[in-house]
Amino acid sequence: MALLPILTHPNERLHIVAKPVEKIDERIRQLVSDMAETMYESRGIGLAATQVDVHERVVVIDLSEEKNQLLALINPVITKKDGETTYEEGCLSVPGIYDTVTRAETITVEYFDVDGEKHTLDADGLLAICIQHELDHLLGKLFVEYLSPLKQNRIKTKMKKRQRETM
């Protein structure tokens, strides 16, 4: 297992649309393992492959306190959305920034696991929010893009300043 570097906003590579995984093999299983380790080490609850500069449709999520209920979604597709809810979101690619985003309250997602098995999952609450957030990454979209242009510019300025300070 290995820790992967996480891209941070405003890195343009975060806007690359991920391609479907063509074959679930040892490379993809290793990617899932490395992404999980990276997510846990970074104290996150979800991570999309796009965030670690791998532009394939892979997401890992774990909402458990014990960090022992890893959900790996390969080639996930939301097939149904219903209702509306708001939640204060954060993101490993936009560290230290939190804001309220409106998303579907319940979703149905189809995906493959690391063994190539197809699943359908009905999700609500934080799991539904997290899946939608991570799938946005696969489409090249960050949660800050749901915010007003003024907030987006403030966040981009703050992130650029942080990057300059750490160089």
Domain spans of the chain, in order of start? 12-166
Task: Kindly list the averaged pLDDT for each block of 10 residues, start to end, along the chain of length 167.
Answer: 91 98 98 98 97 98 96 98 97 96 98 98 98 98 96 91 81
Question: 75: alpha, beta or left, given left = phi > 0 and alpha = psi -120 to 50?
Answer: left
pLDDT of residue 120: 98
Residue 165 has phi, psi (to 5 degrees) of -70, -25
The residues that are catalytic are 134
55 in a labelled binding site: no
- Within the chain, strands assigned E span 46-48, 58-61, 71-82, 85-89, 99-103, 106-112, 118-124
Q: What is the CATH number of domain 12-166?
A: 3.90.45.10
pLDDT of residue 1: 65
91 in a labelled binding site: yes
Secondary structure element (H or E) that encloses residue 138, with its range: helix 125-138
